[in-house]
Structure 1
Amino acid sequence: MFKQFTSLQWKSFFRSSNLGKSLGIKILMGFFGVYMLVSLAGLGAGMYFILRKIFPDQSPMWSISQYFIYWVLIELFLRYFMQKLPVMDIKPFLTTPVKKSTIAHYILGRSAASIYNLLTLFFIIPFAIVLLFNSYPGLNVLLWVVAVMAIVLCINYLNLLINKNEKALIGIASILIIGYGLDYFGIFSIKELLAPVFHALYAYPITVLIPIVLAFGIYYINYKFLKDKIYLDAKLKSKKVEANTSDLAWTKRFGEMGSFLQLDLKMIWRNKRTKSQVFISLLFVFYGLIFYTVDVYSSMVPMKAFVGIFMTGIFLSNFGQFIPAWDSSYYSMMMSQNIPMRKYLESKVILISVSVVFMFLLTIPYVYFGWEALAINFGCALYNLGVNIPVILYFGSFNKKRIELDQSPFGNMQGTSATQFLIMLPVLVVPIILFSIFYYVFNIQVAVIVLSVLGVIGFAMKNYLLNLITEQYKRKKYGMIAGFKEKAS
């Protein structure tokens, strides 16, 4: 039966009318996936030597055990966003003599074969091979690998249980941030507390039974939950939705643009994919800690400019690159009304500008690492406001792919085309190149001033640039409308 299910899934994939669409993106993502696997294998092979160099007085196994808890939390956190839940059209099977238990086991089995589980495997196995070549006990290493893969499956099936629960996401993020903060400031070391627990998986091979039993236990909980949901009348139940109302009266002060702002704010808060952009933007405020706390990166000043552009412009990039595709469901209706295109675009500018200013305010605590950090973030914020906002709006006129807002937010390539990859060149690469040139030729002060002046110039030319962008949107209007009408594109 499992073989028949797999055959049907493959036929469904290859016979899909959407197979040929965005084929270039699928191939590109495939190459990216292979690159990630090869990179992880190389990192795994070199991790033993890296740990020996960083912690010369510790065994690499003890060192990796110290940070194991952070790996678990980070992987669980990332899977919440990135891993798609296993999906299968089960309705045709519910009128046939196919056991519900078989369907449930097949769906969960497909989840175990997820690419996200392979990522850890490609890292752990090369690391284990290096351990064996360095005379580590074969049985201990082998059972440690089994234990790690059992933990990966625990994370995989735990994600299926908590994936729709935002409170769980906030809880995981809070534990991760607070735990790292306590460790970093030397208040309380969580890694030292839990290191013996994870090291025991290597030191005492019998402990491999613990993660294996946990994996089976979480699998069984998923199985019972899924089996109880598989019945024909599931779709006949009326869906109860709690209505949340907000008039957003304060947006009226923006005049004609107020109605557009209301639509954008309601859309962002009511839909999975747009709401996720807000959470991601807030979380990436901590991205700079990687570059400011690690000695290797702290001396690379141009990388700090990248961090500044990225942190202050994360919402600009994630949300702005899909303008106006966010409105694709009703874009044709909007364009048939007497709605000034200029006002529509200005409302997007206000929304993104507020996000850039807000993200800059959140990065002010980086002044802890020196006034240069604050100056770089300020210059990058000005550049985002004056240059990157017009750039990203201009590229938005090439978006012709529909986005279904209620679909899973991550691992979802809906609305993605070559435009989304090309747009990263002017938004991220160009300011870093400019900053690097003036930093190495002159100094950091001149580099920051150049970014700031370019941002001010762009801001001063806002009306002129918006007029050009408005004309571009008018020329592309009918092509976008036709593209947005093609569902599942």
Structure 2
Amino acid sequence: MNQNLFSLAWRETIRSAYWGKSLATNIGLGFLAIYFAVSFLFLGFAIPEILTKGFPDHDPISKFNNILLAYLAIELIIRQLMQKLPTVSFKPLLLQNIRRKKIVNYLMIRSIFNFFNVLPFFLLLPVTFSMVGEAHSGVATLSWFLAIFILIFSNHFLAIYLKWKFNEAEYGFFIFLAGLVGLYAINHFGIVDLSGALGKLLDLILVNPAITILLILLPVLFYFLNVRFLLSRMYLNLVSGKQKAEKVGDYSWLNNLGETGRFIALELRLIWRNKRPRSVAVMTVIMLAYGLLIYRTDPGKSMPEFIFILGGIIMVGMFSISYGQFFPAWHSNYFSMLMCQRLKMKQFLQSFYMLVTVVSVACYFLTLPYAFMHTKIIYTHLAMLLYNLGINIPLLFFIGLYSKKRLDLNQSSVMNYQGVGASQWLAGIPLLVGPILLFQLFKLMFGVTGGYIGLGILGSVGILFHTFIIEFFSKKYLKQKHQLISNYKNS
């Protein structure tokens, strides 16, 4: 029966309209997977030397075992963000003579075939042979290797279970992050040495390989937690679930801005009510902390200028890029109805411009505390703010003219490629790489400070003429609206 279910899933995939339309996306993801696999393989060969040089007073195997908990914690976070839940169109299956438990077990088994479960293999294989295998017997080495993969599969099933639970909680993911931060604090301040405990367990497995058998209980436990959770909800009368009443803020005060204000209110309601745009807004807030990763430098060392440009465009312009690259596809589900209303395209574009401007300016002020790390952030982020508003937003208007795919607003935006076309992939080049290349050009002519001034002047010109730019694109969108309607209906 499981074989038949796998066969049905494969046929459903290759026969779907999205399979053919997303061929370019699948090829791109394939190359990305190869890149990460090769990177992990090289890292695996480099780890013994890194540990030997970095910790000369420690046994490299024991040190690797100690830091494995940090790897598992980071992997769990990445799985929460990127790993998709195992799903199937089970309504038709429930009407057949197929036990619910059989469907659930099929879902869980299918979830094992996941890139996140394969990727550690490329890291651990060279470590196992080049570091562990040289110091221990074959049985001990194999047991150690299997023990780590048992922990990885435990992580896999735990991530799925948590994600099911978080989907039912309003702020589940943030509770999860808070829990991890709490565990990190407990370990960091020495209250409980969690990483040391796992390290000692793996060290013990190298001495007594039979302990590996006990670890099997861990993934089995998480597996059955998932099975029990799904069985309790796999009923036809629970498929749609209870609709939770949405509390949407009162945006009537925006009516003072006229038609433009009403469109801004429409955008805000869309963001608040739907999961995908709401996750873009949440990611914008999270990415404000990106500077903590890229702006940290050793005393006396300078940072490359492109780091400041990239950090500025990502933190200040994150919302405009993430939200704007799908404009006007956010409204694709009702775009034809929208175009039938008595509205002015100019107000439609103006509302988007004003919303993005307000968010970008707010992000700029929220990133000013990074000036305590590097004072030049005050003017580098200002230059990127001006560039984003004056150059990137008109570029997003241009990209939107060729929007082809309808968006499903009820899915998360993280690792979700539904509605992603060639225009979204190509958009990243001028939006992110463009300011870096322009800065290098201005830098060659006028120096470093002149480079930032040049970017700021370019953006300021775009801002000064934004009314004419919006007028220009409103005419373009009016000519293109029937093609956009057709694209959304056929996608």
TM-score by length of 2: 0.90
The residue identity in structure 2 corresponding to 1:249 is S
Query: Structure 2 vs 1, CA of residues 11 and 323 (structure 1 numbering), >3 Å: closer, same or farther?
Result: same
1:224 aligns with 2:228: yes
Q: 2:279, 2:412 within 8 Å by CA — same for their partners in 1?
A: no
Query: 1:339 aligns to what SS in structure 2?
Result: coil
- The answer as to 2:12 corresponding to 1:36 is no
Query: Which piece of structure 1 moves more, 44-53 or 333-342?
Result: 44-53
Deviation digits for residues 242-262 of structure 1, max 9, x if unmatched?
231422123223221111111
Query: In 2, Cα distance between the equivalents of 1:264 and 1:210?
Result: 53
Whether 1:199 aligns to 2:199 is: yes
The question of 1:307 aligning with 2:277 is answered no
Cα gap change, 1:69 to 1:379, in 2 (>3 Å): farther
- In the TM superposition, residue 66 of structure 1 has moved relative to its aligned partner by 5.0
Q: Which runs of 5+ in 1 are unaligned?
A: none
Offset at 1:176? 5.3
Per the alignment, residue 253 of structure 1 pairs with: 256
Structure 2 residue 414 is the aligned partner of structure 1 residue 410: yes
What do the CA deviations read for 1:318-370 (whole angstroms, capped 9, x no partner)? 11000000000111111111111111001111111122112222222211222
Equivalents in 2 of 1:480, 1:455: separation in Å? 29
Residue 119 of structure 1 corresponds to 119
Pairing 1:151-162 to 2, within 5 Å after superposition: 151-162=151-162
Equivalent residue, structure 2, for 1:423: 427
Q: In structure 1, what is the Cα distance between the partners aligned to 2:365 and 2:324?
A: 20
Q: Which residue of 1 aligns with 2:84?
A: 84
For residues 375-421 of structure 1, give each alpha carbon's deviation from its aligned partner in whole angstroms, at most 9, with x where no partner exists: 32222222112211111122111102101111343332221111001
Kept in 1: contact 2:65–2:203 (CA 8 A): no
Corresponding position of 2:322: 318
Other-structure match for 1:450: 454
Q: CA deviation at 1:115?
A: 1.6
1:158-197 equivalences under 5 Å are 158-163=158-163, 164=167, 165-175=169-179, 188-189=188-189, 193-197=193-197
1:290-369 mapped onto 2 (5 Å cutoff):
290-293=293-296, 299-369=303-373
Q: How big is the shift at 1:233?
A: 3.7
Structure 2 distance, partners of 1:375, 1:65, is 45
Q: How much has 1:479 moved relative to structure 2?
A: 0.7
Higher mean displacement: 378-387 or 264-273: 378-387
Q: CA deviation at 1:222?
A: 0.7
Q: How does 1:234-253 map to 2 (within 5 A)?
A: 234-235=238-239, 239-253=242-256
Distance 1:93 1:147, change over 3 A: same
Kindly indicate whether residue 26 of structure 2 is the aligned counterpart of residue 26 of structure 1.
yes
Separation in 1, partners of 2:183, 2:369: 19
Q: Are residues 364 and 156 of structure 1, via their aligned partners in 2, closer, same or farther at CA, if it must alter by over 3 Å?
A: same
Partner-residue secondary structure (3-state), 1:84: coil
Question: Is 2:346–2:474's contact at 8 Å kept on the other side of the alignment?
Answer: yes
**1:98 matched to which residue of 2?**
98
- CA change 1:288–1:49 in 2 (3 A) is farther
**Shift in CA distance, 176/218, structure 1 to aligned 2, threshold 3 Å:** closer
Residue 422 (structure 1) shift:
1.1
Match of 1:391 in 2: 395
Task: Give the aligned partner of residue 264 of structure 1.
Answer: 267
| Structure 1 counterpart of 2:90, one-letter code | I
Aligned-pair distance for 1:188? 4.9
Cα deviation for residue 466 of structure 1 reads 1.6
Residues 52 and 229 from structure 1, CA distance in 2 versus in 1: closer, same or farther, beyond 3 angstroms?
Answer: same
Aligned match of 1:478: 482
Deviations 1:249-291 (A, max 9, x none): 2322322111111111111111111111011111112222222
Cα distance in 1, alignment partners of residues 179 and 455 from structure 2: 37
Matched, 1:371 2:393: no
CA distance in 1, matches of 2:302, 2:61: 27
Residue deviations 1:111-132 (CA, integer Å, cap 9, x gap) = 1222222222322223323314
CA contact (8 A) 2:251 2:265 kept: yes
In the alignment, residue 256 of structure 1 is paired with which amino acid?
Answer: E
Asked if the contact 1:321/1:392 (under 8 Å) is kept, the reply is yes
Which residues of 2 match residues 119-138 of structure 1 at below 5 A?
Answer: 119-132=119-132, 135=135, 138=138
CA distance in 1: counterparts of 2:398 and 2:25, whole angstroms: 21
Secondary structure of the equivalent of 1:20? helix
Task: Single out whichever of 46-55 and 349-358 deviates more from structure 2.
Answer: 46-55
User: Do the aligned residues in 1 keep the contact of 2:61 with 2:132 (CA within 8 Å)?
Assistant: no
Q: CA deviation at 1:107?
A: 0.5
How far does residue 12 in structure 1 lie from its aligned partner after superposition? 1.7
- In structure 2, what is the Cα distance between the partners aligned to 1:124 and 1:17? 38
Post-superposition CA distance 1:156-213 (Å, at most 9, x none): 2222222213433112333556777x79xxx954699333123123211155456532
Inter-CA distance 127–2: structure 2 relative to 1 (3 Å threshold): same
Quick one: distance in 2 between partners of 1:188 and 1:230? 42
2:316–2:364 contact (8 Å) kept in structure 1:
yes
Of residues 318-327 and 140-149 in structure 1, the stretch that sits farther from structure 2 once superposed is 140-149
Secondary structure of residue in 2 paired with 1:412: coil
| Contact kept? 1:66, 1:192, Cα under 8 Å | no
- AA aligned to 2:374 is G
Equivalent residues of 1:132, 1:138 under 8 A apart = no
CA offset at residue 461 of structure 1?
1.7
Contact residue 73 and residue 172 of structure 1 kept, 8 A: no
Quote the residue 2:471 is aligned against: 467
Structure 2 unaligned spans of 5+: none
1:204-245 CA distances to partner (integer Å, 9 max, x unpaired)?
11554565322211111111111222334434x773322314
Task: Measure, in 1, the Cα distance between the counterparts of 2:225 and 2:241.
Answer: 26
Report the Cα distance in structure 2 between the residues aligned to 1:62 and 1:304, rounded to whole angstroms.
38
- C-alpha contact (below 8 Å) 1:81/1:409 kept by paired residues: no
Q: Percent identity?
A: 32
Q: 1:234 to 1:43 in 2, by over 3 A?
A: same
